[in-house]
Amino acid sequence: MRFSLLTRSAAGAADFSRLDSASVEFRDVVKTYGDRRVLNGINLTIQPGEVVAILGPSGSGKSTLIRLISQLETLSAGEILIDGKPTRRLQGRQLYQLRSHVGFVFQQFNLYAHLNARDNVATALEFVHGWQKAAARERALALLTQVGLADKAEHMPSQLSGGQQQRVAIARALASSPEIILFDEPTSALDPEMIGEVLAVMKALAHSGITMIVVTHEMQFAREIADRVVFIDGGDILEAAPAAEFFARPQHPRTRRFLQKVLDPLHQESAG
Ligand SMILES: Nc1ncnc2c1ncn2[C@@H]1O[C@H](COP(=O)(O)OP(=O)(O)O)[C@@H](O)[C@H]1O
Ligand SMILES: [Mg+2]
């Protein structure tokens, strides 16, 4: 029945069943909630395999920006192209295909509390992607091994630390072999001593071929891992530059103020 939901234009526009490279292009993207504009016309192209860090103050529109890519939110105006194909009008099977090519890791890990680590990863493969149970469980174990959790496969989320739970969530996001993975402040809910293990997994993933977009406050991670840093404030991209350049020579006064605050929080008042 899903097919009956397809509009003709969408059917002609996109085939996400074979997505080899995965660029992401925002064209004049606007998002409003009621009267409130939270993205003001975003233009940004992310290359296949690129690692992009999105920085900006709270409420600036960072989450909204990446949630639009996987259509957790709907566009108000403009277009987002993935692999050069417009995504705005996708419905039904094509929307489902798009989503299976985009992994999402949330700040709150959102694991199923009643399933062990392995089944948290396998469930999506089985029930969303139609895998056989045995194959799904095998792939789940391979993915948990990749994130360093082979020995925790049968543990329930409540038996895992926050860092381990977030690594399970990363394994789950990778289950459908996405070409794009989105992270929304993946370490912000973690105790400080657990941040490193999650960043290490992300570092291993970066430049593995997958396109990676990371909303983060981890400046060192952004500086070391990202190809490019995009700074958003008030729903606008104020600056986008290679990471080294961004941190060495921030161009916009608001970028400089933001960096001063996050890099030297004790002296933010005097920095004005
Ligand atoms: N579902 C929603 N309804 C109304 N306003 C929202 C909704 N989601 C986010 N906003 C508003 O949009 C703005 C941008 O939010 P968000 O993208 O979450 O910012 P960030 O991730 O940078 O903190 C904020 O002012 C927020 O309050
Ligand atoms: Mg956010």
User: What integer pLDDT is reported at residue 124 of this predicted model?
Assistant: 86
User: What integer pLDDT is reported at residue 3 of this predicted model?
Assistant: 33
Atom of ligand 1 nearest to the CA of 36: 5
Nearest CA to ligand 1 atom 8: 64
User: What integer pLDDT is reported at residue 207 of this predicted model?
Assistant: 85
Atom of ligand 1 nearest to the CA of 56: 22
Three-state SS across the chain? Answer: CHHHHCCHHHHHHCCCCCCCCCCEEEEEEEEEECCEEEEEEEEEEECCCCEEEEECCCCCCHHHHHHHHCCCCCCCEEEEEECCEECCCCCHHHHHHHHHCEEEECCCCCCCCCCCHHHHHHHHHHHHCCCCHHHHHHHHHHHHHHCCCHHHCCCCHHHCCHHHHHHHHHHHHCCCCCCEEEEECCCCCCCHHHHHHHHHHHHHHCCCCCEEEEECCCHHHHHHHCCEEEEEECCEEEEEEEHHHHHHCCCCHHHHHHHHHHHCHHHHHHHC
User: What integer pLDDT is reported at residue 2 of this predicted model?
Assistant: 33
User: What integer pLDDT is reported at residue 269 of this predicted model?
Assistant: 56
What is the whole-number distance in angstroms between the Cα of residue 37 and the centre of ligand 1? Answer: 10
To test the pocket of ligand 1, the residue of 63, 182, 183, 188 to mutate (highest count of ligand atoms within 8 Å of its CB) is 63
User: What integer pLDDT is reported at residue 19 of this predicted model?
Assistant: 53
The domains located in the chain, with CATH, are 14-101+182-272 (3.40.50.300), 111-177 (no CATH)
What is the whole-number distance in angstroms between the Cα of residue 38 and the centre of ligand 1? Answer: 7
- Ligand 1 lining (C-beta closer than 6 Å): 33, 38, 56, 58-64
Print pLDDT tens along the chain (272 aa): 333 333 334 334 455 555 555 999 999 999 999 999 999 999 999 999 999 999 999 999 999 999 999 999 999 999 999 999 999 988 888 888 888 899 999 999 999 999 999 999 999 899 888 899 999 999 999 999 999 999 999 999 999 999 999 999 999 999 989 999 999 999 999 999 999 999 999 999 998 889 999 999 999 999 999 999 999 999 999 999 999 999 999 999 999 999 999 988 887 655 44
What is the whole-number distance in angstroms between the Cα of residue 184 and the centre of ligand 2? Answer: 7
User: What integer pLDDT is reported at residue 14 of this predicted model?
Assistant: 54
Atom of ligand 1 nearest to the CA of 64: 17
User: What integer pLDDT is reported at residue 264 of this predicted model?
Assistant: 86
User: What integer pLDDT is reported at residue 237 of this predicted model?
Assistant: 98
Nearest CA to ligand 1 atom 12: 38
User: What integer pLDDT is reported at residue 128 of this predicted model?
Assistant: 83
To test the pocket of ligand 1, the residue of 30, 36, 54, 64 to mutate (highest count of ligand atoms within 8 Å of its CB) is 64
To test the pocket of ligand 1, the residue of 33, 107, 231 to mutate (highest count of ligand atoms within 8 Å of its CB) is 33
